[in-house]
Homo-oligomer: A and B are copies of this chain.
């Protein structure tokens, strides 16, 4: 039974780019099960791809191979890499798109520039991780184009991985990969936690960088633009209007019942979400 290969790209679905990758994979491994994560990443938005991937990969079978091709530097000196974690493989350009997998605890708050992170730093993957610089052309399509490594390098490498080719055959082990600082909430002068909108989903839910365990104790008051939401809701139909809720990936979300919070509030990715403890709780 062949492993699952997932695809996350900014290719859209109107061209044949994604299909060409699938054709290449199925030519090498006809038994591969290919699953699209999304192809609607904004062009070149490495951070968005990294975030979406981070919410999905852990739901796939152990040993799945996740191919990520958001690759503005294709054809340049940026490396193509494989990252093996204890549960999965990731095949991607070394441009920060795997940052959520390399996240180290204890770092201070920071927000990468958007859409292409300019504050990349090299980081060592965690224990049990192994990274390889893809250099062996035996596993590539030939000739390799300079503009479409998704089809010519990443897809065939993933397909060969799915056939059980050992990691070491694809290239030399490397110690460090590029990562951007994972977006985390700040604190303002009064000590309130200030998060930021990280992603806006199909429903217009505003997904912030505030995680469940960042929440202060006591009754919560969320300030977003000129609106204030009191208390956490448990589910989307619990109350009318705006609500704050812990979403399915563990992040604080601002939602609007049967509507788009993003459209209603006019808030974009990067917008601030401030948490105040309610007076009852803080006085």
Contacts and interface: CB of A to CB of B under 8 A. Distances in A.
Nearest to A41: B14
A233 to B, nearest CB: 9
Contacts of A74: 235-237
A234 interface: yes
Given A20-B55, A40-B14, A235-B147, A33 B30 contact: yes
SS of A interface (majority): loop
Interface stretch (A56-64, A97-105, A165-173, A216-224): A56-64
Nearest to A258: B44
Nearest to A53: B16
A136 interface: no
Interface residues of A, number: 67
A57 B4 CA distance: 23
A272 interface: no
16 contacts: A4-B23, A4-B26, A13-B13, A13-B39, A16-B38, A20-B55, A23-B57, A23-B59, A23-B64, A24-B59, A34-B35, A74-B236, A75-B234, A147-B245, A147-B246, A152-B248
Interface of A: 1, 4, 6, 10-17, 19-20, 22-24, 26-27, 30-31, 33-40, 43-44, 52-53, 55-57, 59-61, 64, 72-76, 116, 145-148, 151-152, 199, 201-204, 234-238, 245-248, 258, 260
